[in-house]
Amino acid sequence: MKGVKSGVFIALLAGVLSLVSMPVLASDPSGLEATVQELIKQNRELTQRLQQVEQELQRLKGQEVSSTVHAAGEKKETGFLSGLDSHVEIGGLLEFGGAYQNVSVRDGRDYDDSDLAMTTVELDLGVEFNEWVSADACFLYEDPTFENNETSIDLDSAVINIGNTEKIPFRLAMGKMYVPFGALLTHFPDDPLIDAPVTLKLGETNEKALLVGYDNRGLSLSAYVYNGDVNEEGETNNRLENYGLDAHISYGIDLSSASLYEKGEKYKHNPENCIDFLLGVSYISNLADSDTIAEVVDDEVEDYVGGFDAYFHAEHCGLFLDAEYMTATDSFARDELLPGQKDAQPAVWNFEAGFNYNWWRNLEVAFKYAGSEDAEGLGIPEDRYGINFNQDLFENVVLSLGYLHDEYAQKDVDNRDDRDLVFGQVAIEF
């Protein structure tokens, strides 16, 4: 800017001098011509100098803008890693709990247990590569109460997602996942603190699968295929012959088909919604691939047995009702689920009802009735009653306190008669 002012001053000075000298030069024509030529030369030099000053100012201005943008953290991205914070989301769950149980055994003995455990440490990683491709991974550590078999940190799920349901309703998911069989909804702390919900105990299936989904205006459809861990007797081929289907409609619930089935994912009341609704059905071609049954049948069954599930959730201004029924579509062969048990066709059901009350921070009160049939070989109670309180302490910090009473069938695999369980847990989600 100083260069511009100097150039302008020189031009003005030259003009003034020329005007002052004009009367003198008029009396000497040869001197006048020489002076004009000199002024023309000076004017050309001055113009060139002004152009150079203007270019220098533009260069300095560009450096100042670049420096300001860099200081504000708005530097232009040049690759995926340059904007890593905008592509990656990290979350997780920490759960610490304690429980006391009193168990009556059919031979007349009673025993009780108490324990404290860091029941769950979960780390979730989500990466959005672009608006069409993303990936999710979950690393999980579990320490079940009353047991000495805490796990190491394992890869619980890892899924690549292709699709953008805001633009087209179809999507593709592939990887290690909990396949969508049943909704497994619950308002109680689940396994490994107190015991898995009966529906999760019978149907939760973690497989390496390929899933195709459709989501549009509350309607969600999904179909998937996987290899499976449990084969039919005498089968040696390693084939993609197991599959499953799920269909549900929802209103006021922001849940995709995938998020319903991630381990530990529970429906949470949104106080901004007064009416929530969810209704769905599921089918799986090989129920023995569920994590619980696969351990019992030792990776082999006489014939594949399918599974069917129907689930329902409704909420109105904080009052809620959950209902789910899951059953095998046929009977397992003799001795497959329990020695001496013939034609077992396991079925389970879970009903929960309750309300949310914001007295200080939100308090959720849930009542449970659950049960089973032909599931004693899986250690699932014949009847279960319970009550649970979920109190928000801070944002994403929940204290749970509750009680469960279980009654078992006569042929329970652990010879139990009934059980009373009192539990408490603090969960932090981030």
- 64 shares its domain with 125: no
Q: What is the DSSP string of 24-81?
A: HHHT-HHHHHHHHHHHHHHHHHHHHHHHHHHHHHHHHHHHHHHHHHHHTT-PPP-STG
Q: Output the pLDDT for position 67.
A: 46
pLDDT at position 96 over 70: yes
* Residue 79 within a domain: no
Residue 395 identity = E
- 51 shares its domain with 14: yes
Whole-number Cα distances in Å, 66 to 1, 54, 71, 182, 395: 19, 19, 9, 55, 40
CB 186, CB 142: distance < 8 Å: no
Sign of CA dihedral 274, 279, 284, 290: positive
Instruction: Provide the mean pLDDT of the chain.
Output: 84
pLDDT at position 128 over 80: yes
- 56 shares its domain with 88: no
- 107 shares its domain with 208: yes
Indicate which CATH number applies to the domain containing 150.
2.40.160.10
Among 71, 95, 111, residue at a domain's last position:
71
pLDDT, tens digit, 9 for 90 and up, residues 74-88 = 444 445 555 666 789
Backbone dihedral angles phi then psi of residue 176, each to the nearest 5 degrees = -90, 115
* Residue 408 within a domain: yes
- 45 shares its domain with 122: no
**Bridging pattern class, strands 300-301 and 231-232:** parallel
Sign of CA dihedral 128, 268, 96, 150: negative
Q: Output the pLDDT for position 83.
A: 60
Residue 385, H or E segment: strand 383-394
Q: Please compute, for residue 241, the number of CA atoms within 13 A of its CA located in the half-sphere on the CB side.
A: 13
- 167 shares its domain with 29: no
Percent of the chain with pLDDT over 90: 60
User: Using a CB cutoff of 8 Å and minimum separation of 24, what contacts does 167-174 make?
Assistant: 169/214, 169/215, 169/216, 170/212, 170/213, 170/214, 171/212, 171/213, 171/214, 171/215, 172/210, 172/211, 172/212, 172/213, 173/210, 173/211, 173/213, 173/258, 174/209, 174/210, 174/211
Q: Which residues contact 384 (CB under 8 A, 6 or more apart)?
A: 198, 368, 369, 370, 371, 404, 405, 406, 407
- 131 shares its domain with 61: no
Can you state the percent helix, strand and coil of the chain, rounding each to 5? 20, 45, 35
pLDDT at position 271 over 90: no
The two structure tokens encoding residue 215: 């989501």
Give the total number of structural domains in the chain. Answer: 2
pLDDT at position 47 over 80: no
Residue 293 identity = I
* Residue 218 within a domain: yes
> Shortest CA distance to 214 belongs to which of 180, 186, 252?
180
376 pLDDT band, cuts 50/70/90, is very high
* Residue 260 within a domain: yes
Among 15, 39, 71, residue at a domain's last position:
71
* Residue 76 within a domain: no
188 pLDDT band, cuts 50/70/90, is very high
Between 349 and 73, the higher pLDDT residue: 349
360 pLDDT band, cuts 50/70/90, is very high
226 pLDDT band, cuts 50/70/90, is very high
Domain housing 16: 2-71
Percent of the chain with pLDDT over 70: 80
Backbone dihedral angles phi then psi of residue 422, each to the nearest 5 degrees = -115, 135
CB 225, CB 208: distance < 8 Å: no
Among 71, 95, 119, residue at a domain's last position:
71
Q: Output the pLDDT for position 270.
A: 52
Q: Output the pLDDT for position 193.
A: 83
* Residue 28 within a domain: yes
- 44 shares its domain with 90: no
Backbone dihedral angles phi then psi of residue 283, each to the nearest 5 degrees = -140, 140
> Shortest CA distance to 416 belongs to which of 169, 175, 110, 148?
110
- 168 shares its domain with 98: yes
- 19 shares its domain with 128: no
Whole-number Cα distances in Å, 118 to 192, 284, 404: 10, 33, 20
- 332 shares its domain with 384: yes
* Residue 100 within a domain: yes
Whole-number Cα distances in Å, 402 to 100, 114, 328, 405, 416: 11, 15, 30, 11, 21
- 63 shares its domain with 104: no
418 pLDDT band, cuts 50/70/90, is very high
CB 247, CB 216: distance < 8 Å: no
pLDDT at position 69 over 50: no
Residue that has been written with the tokens 């009550």 in this structure = 387
* Residue 141 within a domain: yes
pLDDT, tens digit, 9 for 90 and up, residues 308-345 = 999 999 999 889 999 999 999 999 998 899 887 888 99
Chain center to CA of 121: 15
Query: Which residues, listed in sequence order, are joined to residue 392 by a DSSP beta bridge?
Result: 398
